[in-house]
Amino acid sequence: MALRLLKLAATSASARVVAAGAQRVRGIHSSVQCKLRYGMWHFLLGDKASKRLTERSRVITVDGNICTGKGKLAKEIAEKLGFKHFPEAGIHYPDSTTGDGKPLATDYNGNCSLEKFYDDPRSNDGNSYRLQSWLYSSRLLQYSDALEHLLTTGQGVVLERSIFSDFVFLEAMYNQGFIRKQCVDHYNEVKSVTICDYLPPHLVIYIDVPVPEVQRRIQKKGDPHEMKITSAYLQDIENAYKKTFLPEMSEKCEVLQYSAREAQDSKKVVEDIEYLKFDKGPWLKQDNRTLYHLRLLVQDKFEVLNYTSIPIFLPEVTIGAHQTDRVLHQFREKERSWRRIRMLTRAAGNSLAGWTKAWKDSGIGRSGTRRSGVEAARGPDGVT
């Protein structure tokens, strides 16, 4: 039983919780979820991509090593160009786009930890590859969200990294001996059947910061976990970018490279973008029909994640039927608790006092009563 089951279960279930909490005001149903979906009739009646896509309907990704200022530059570019900014997708990206937006426990998010990877990258429980596999799925989901936004609104998007650059971490992990060759084969198989459905970005911006400077920034940042990253791992990431990623992307899209100092001048970067001709890549070959099929794909998140689960047994990312049942049972217990809180809250009113009363009445978090989810699976000493 592959990880996709829990990914989809957690995502869809949390969405159902929100839907269950929809209000009725004077007979009018209101919900945070939009049930309208783009389909064949929209296309036949004239809702076509060519009517909204303009010269500013671009997909831009900002790439670079760890602590190179990608987020700052991406945000500034988006603000200056009027694009939508997508921060880098992390472990909890599916939670941020479904339900109430609050992160769920790692049990429902790939059962992996970035902090644990930094602390013990050679952990024999498979955390390193489980993390890489989950992050690829998160980036795949985010890239589909970005394309959906572009095709729906015509507004350009700016992302920090993407599914096209995700492999640089896989190569670095393998070169450092953090993961097995079987993990690399599994990743490449998943990538080959998923990435082929997506158009690459129009532009890749690469921030080139030397490894010694990256390490200095990490030390200055002061994150105790990131400070354990070795220079060899950082160098392998840089090598994968320069030897594989950039040459490949230069054939598919525009590429701009900046030093650490140059990347601080976002105004100059935007000027360089304005001068680009965008005269190469598969986007030039698209028409209303192909973009129609792409939009159908990216709006269907189940289909987006469908092929991240392939019939290959790999201990790092495979769970048994009993474990699946246990985790799903825990999640449903949490779901029932959330519903009870919402029901009590609606009964008590939307005031702070009402929320407090609902929380106390639900018994969630109270010592010895109604422990649910992961807490319910732990013993008195916190051991599962």
pLDDT tens profile 223-269: 999 999 999 999 999 999 999 999 999 999 999 999 999 999 999 99
* Three-class HEC string of the chain: CECHHHHHHHHHHHHHHHHHCCEEECCEEECCCCCCCCCHHHHHCCCCHHHCCCCCCCEEEEEECCCCCHHHHHHHHHHHHCCEEECCCCCCHHHHCCCCCCCCCHHHCCCCCHHHHHHCCCCCCCHHHHHHHHHHHHHHHHHHHHHHHHHHHCCCEEEECCCCCCHHHHHHHHHCCCCCHHHHHHHHHHHHHHHHHCCCCCEEEEEECCHHHHHHHHHHHCCCCHHHCCHHHHHHHHHHHHHHHHHHHHCCCEEEEEECCHHHCHHHHHHHHHHCCCCCCHHHHCCHHHHHHHHHHHHCHHHHHHCCCCCCCCHHHECCHHHHHHHHHHHHHHHHHHHHHHHHHHHHCCCHHHHHHHHHHHCCCCCCCCCCHHHHHCCCCCCC
171 in the same domain as 200: yes
2 belongs to a structural domain: no
Residues in CB range of 214: below 8 A, 6 or more apart: 65, 66, 67, 68, 234
pLDDT of residue 156: 97
> From CA 170, how far away is CA 132, in angstroms rounded?
7
15 belongs to a structural domain: no
pLDDT of residue 200: 97
6 belongs to a structural domain: no
For 172-196, the pLDDT digits (tens) are 999 999 999 999 999 999 999 999 9
300 in the same domain as 354: no
11 belongs to a structural domain: no
pLDDT of residue 26: 42
Candidates 245, 56, 76, 72; CA nearest to 163 is 245
pLDDT of residue 304: 93
State percent of the chain over pLDDT 70: 79
312 in the same domain as 344: no
337 in the same domain as 259: no
200 belongs to a structural domain: yes
Q: Given a cut of 50, is residue 146 above it in pLDDT?
A: yes
246 in the same domain as 372: no
- Among residues 317, 340, 365, the one where a domain terminates is 317
Q: Given a cut of 60, is residue 85 above it in pLDDT?
A: yes
370 in the same domain as 251: no
pLDDT of residue 286: 94
pLDDT band at 352 (very low <50, low <70, confident <90, very high): low
Q: What's the whole-model pTM score?
A: 0.81
123 belongs to a structural domain: yes
Q: How many residues does the chain have?
A: 384
Contact 283, 198 (CB under 8 A): no
Does 172 or 364 have the greater pLDDT score?
172
Q: What are the residues facing 259 on neighbouring strands?
A: 208
pLDDT of residue 27: 44
302 in the same domain as 157: yes
Report the domain count for the chain: 2
Contact 73, 203 (CB under 8 A): no
Q: Given a cut of 80, is residue 357 above it in pLDDT?
A: no
> From CA 186, how far away is CA 296, in angstroms rounded?
27
Lowest mean pLDDT among 2-11, 83-92, 117-126, 153-162: 2-11
Candidates 6, 31, 34, 117; CA nearest to 342 is 31
End-to-end CA distance of the chain: 21
Q: Given a cut of 50, is residue 170 above it in pLDDT?
A: yes
Q: Identify the residue whose tokens are 């899209």.
A: 253
State percent of the chain over pLDDT 90: 61
192 in the same domain as 96: yes
57 belongs to a structural domain: yes
> From CA 355, how far away is CA 336, in angstroms rounded?
17
Q: Given a cut of 50, is residue 99 above it in pLDDT?
A: yes
Does 360 or 381 have the greater pLDDT score?
360
341 in the same domain as 267: no
What type of residue is 276? L
Lowest mean pLDDT among 66-75, 151-160, 297-306, 328-337: 328-337
Contact 78, 223 (CB under 8 A): no
90 in the same domain as 51: yes
350 in the same domain as 303: no
For 202-229, the pLDDT digits (tens) are 999 999 999 999 999 999 999 999 999 9
Which structural domain, as residue segments, surrounds residue 187?
Answer: 46-317
- Strand 59-64 and strand 203-208: the pairing is parallel
Q: Given a cut of 80, is residue 300 above it in pLDDT?
A: yes
| CATH assignment of the domain containing 82 | 3.40.50.300
Residues in CB range of 160: below 8 A, 6 or more apart: 61, 62, 63, 70, 71, 74, 86, 87, 88
- Among residues 317, 338, 359, the one where a domain terminates is 317
Distances (CA, A) of 90 to 139, 161, 315: 8, 11, 23
**Residues 120, 121, 125, CA angle at the centre, nearest 5°?**
80
Average pLDDT, integer, range 128-133: 96
pLDDT of residue 360: 56
Q: Given a cut of 90, is residue 12 above it in pLDDT?
A: no
- Among residues 265, 297, 317, the one where a domain terminates is 317
273 belongs to a structural domain: yes
For 25-65, the pLDDT digits (tens) are 444 444 445 557 888 887 778 878 888 899 999 999 999 99
229 in the same domain as 200: yes
Q: Given a cut of 80, is residue 93 above it in pLDDT?
A: yes
